[in-house]
Amino acid sequence: MNRHGCCGRSLFLTISVICSCFGLSSSAVMAREGVGKQFDEFDRNNFDRSTNIDNKWFPLKPGTQYLYKGVTQEEKKPVPHRLVFIVTDLAKVINGVQAIVVWELDYKAGKMVEQELVFFAQDKDGNVWHLGQLSETYDETEFVGARAFLVGTDGARAGIMVQAEPRLGTPSYSQGYAPPPFNWTDRGRVDQVGQKTCVATGCYNDIVVIAETSDAEGPKAEQLKYYAPGVGLVRVGWRGKREKLRETLELTEIVKLSPEALAKACADALELEKRAYVYGRTPPAQLMRAAERQ
């Protein structure tokens, strides 16, 4: 969890950390709100070439770097926010499934406050699953601490980050679960389809908007993610009554990394992984070419 305790989040660590502070159980909220089933069935046999993530709404091609810029509300003050999202050429076996490794760096007011490794895999139906993550946080330039969860360890459950065919009017779905201290309880729901939005990288049509929330907050606070076909996440917005959750981001640049830059990103991601003691119970990440030979 990041340096702001229950109040902070990065691109894929959304508002569940905040909402867990208010103490409602997932089952209680689901009964109250009439949402979809608690967890989708995770079947490791339904994954083949799982690191080849070509989901229309969330393609993850190794060597691609996405830059997001925006503003986060902290203590009633707007703070400049920048996120660097790098799809590495690394794969990690998690609960029997090869997952692609994404390295994310989070900057507030020009200083890095968090970096994460996030693990995604695509099933045979085209759904992109979230299989866990490591988060390291910093105060100014000093390391504060790290937390991690991986599906198949310590009660963590897999969830769907982006569906293959998002359809309006369908039930909400779990984006994964991790017990305290990580407190990941996020859920997604298709909020809008066929939208248009313009950001620094261009204007996009046929946008799908996913509303994400945590079990404790329900409809009171939602993060809105705008996915463009063939591109992925292009905008992050918010809706709700809790001003402290306000965050806006937009895609400002897409970069194809050089082989040298990609190799450095992979090396840095591996160094980050080595510092996580929980990974002693899982095989280390490897370059995809090596992982595919096993």
Neighbours of 115 (CB within 10 A): 22
Look at the chain and report how many structural domains it folds into.
1
> How sure is the predictor about 218, in pLDDT bands with cuts at 50, 70 and 90?
low
The DSSP code for 183 is: -
Provide the residue type at 216 as one letter. A
Query: The pTM is what?
Result: 0.84
Find the helix or strand (DSSP H, E) in which 68 lies: strand 64-74
Query: Tokens 């997952």 — which residue?
Result: 99
- pLDDT tens digits, residue range 4-49? 333 334 565 543 333 333 333 333 333 334 455 677 788 999 999 9
The string of pLDDT tens digits covering residues 82-130 is 999 999 999 999 999 999 999 999 999 899 899 999 999 999 999 999 9
| 134 alpha carbon, distance to own chain's centre | 11
Residues in Cβ contact with 18 at an 8 Å cutoff, skipping those fewer than 6 apart: 6, 7, 9, 214, 217, 221, 242, 244, 245
- Please compute Rg for the chain using Cα positions: 18
Confidence of residue 268 (pLDDT cuts 50, 70, 90): very high
Check if the beta carbon of residue 29 is closer than 8 Å to that of residue 172. no
Residues 125-178 pLDDT 10s: 999 999 999 888 887 666 666 778 889 888 889 999 999 999 999 999 999 888
Domain around 241: 5-293
